[in-house]
Amino acid sequence: AQRVTQPEKLLSVFKGAPVELKCNYSYSGSPELFWYVQYSRQRLQLLLRHISRESIKGFTADLNKGETSFHLKKPFAQEEDSAMYYCALAIYRDDKIIFGKGTRLHILP
Amino acid sequence: DVKVTQSSRYLVKRTGEKVFLECVQDMDHENMFWYRQDPGLGLRLIYFSYDVKMKEKGDIPEGYSVSREKKERFSLILESASTNQTSMYLCASSLRGITYNEQFFGPGTRLTVL
C-alpha cells in the first residue's frame, strides 16, 4: 500500500540551528516526492520536488531509495521557516498525491 | 499565475443541512481535487475529477458527493451535514498527464457544523 509517514507532529528548533524534517514512504513503483508548505494564513503551496534537485529558501531534500526516505533539510533555521510542512508522494497512474500527516515546524528565537 | 478560488472562507451550518462548497480555477487544469484538512490527520482526499462530468472517490468519500459540470468548477456537496464534517476543506487543481504535476491549492473553507 502507498503510504507517507512523517513521524514528528511538532518540531521546535532554535533560530540558526539545522533543521531536518523526516519523511518516509512506501510505494512499489518509482517514487516521485514533494514537500508542500503552509505558512500561517496562507494557502498550501509546493516547496520543492525531488526530480528538480533544487534548493528553495535554503531547503533541500534528497531521495534515498534504500531507506525509502525524503527528508527535508536546512542548515540554518530562520524564523520565517515556521510553518506546517507536508511530505507528498505522487501516484502517476492516478494523477493523485498522497500526503503525510504533516509536521509543524516552530523556530524559536 | 494560477488562481484557485473557493466560494467561502468561513461557513457555519446546522446538522442536517445541505451544504455546497464551490471551487473555481482559471488555468484550464483538467484535474481537480477536494481534501479535508484536520490537525493530526493531515490532508485526506475526498473526491477528485479528471475531466468534466467525471469523478473518482478518494479515501474518505462517505457523506460527500461532487459535481463537475464545467471544466473550471468543482463542487463539493454535503447532502446532510453532520458535526463530524466540521473541518477545513481545501480544493486543488493540476494539469493532467504531465509528469511531476504540481497541485495548486485554494485558500480553504473552514466549515463548522453545529
Residue B36 has pLDDT above 90, yes or no: yes
* Interface residue A96 vs chain B (CB under 8 A): yes
More confident residue, B17 or A52: B17
List the single residue in B with minimal CA-CA distance to A88: B43
Q: Which residues of A touch B104 (CB under 8 A)?
A: 45
- Mean of the pLDDT values across residues A1-12? 94
- Mean of the pLDDT values across residues B34-61? 93
* Interface residue A53 vs chain B (CB under 8 A): no
Residue B100 has pLDDT above 80, yes or no: no
Q: What are phi and psi of A101, to 5 degrees?
A: -80, -10
Residue A14 has pLDDT above 90, yes or no: yes
* Interface residue A63 vs chain B (CB under 8 A): no
pLDDT value, residue B1? 66
Lowest mean pLDDT among A13-27, B37-51, B55-69, B96-110: B96-110
- The answer to whether A19 and A74 are in contact (CB under 8 A) is yes
Burial class for B4, CB neighbours closer than 10 Å (0-12, 13-18, 19+): buried
**Alpha carbon of residue A3 to chain centroid:** 14
Q: List strand residue ranges (DSSP E) for A1-109, in order.
A: 3-5, 10-14, 19-21, 24-26, 32-38, 45-49, 60-61, 72-74, 83-91, 96-99, 103-108
- Mean of the pLDDT values across residues A8-28? 96
Q: Report d(CA A17, CA B22) in Å as an integer.
A: 42
CB–CB contact A94 B56 (8 Å):
yes
Confidence band of B99 (pLDDT split at 50, 70, 90)? low
Q: What is the pLDDT of residues B58-70, one digit of tens each?
A: 999 999 999 999 9
A-to-B residue pairs, Cβ atoms closer than 8 angstroms: 50
Q: Report d(CA A85, CA A36) in Å as an integer.
A: 6
Residue B20 has pLDDT above 80, yes or no: yes
- Mean of the pLDDT values across residues A85-97? 84
Cell for B49?
A: 475529477
pLDDT value, residue B19? 97
Beta-carbon contacts of B39 under 8 Å, excluding residues fewer than 6 positions away, are none
Beta-carbon contacts of A95 under 8 Å, excluding residues fewer than 6 positions away, are B31, B48, B50, B94, B96, B97, B101
State the Cα angle at A99 between A93 and A105, rounded to 5°.
Answer: 150
pLDDT value, residue B97? 67
pLDDT value, residue B26? 95
Minimal CA separation from B13 to chain A, in Å: 23
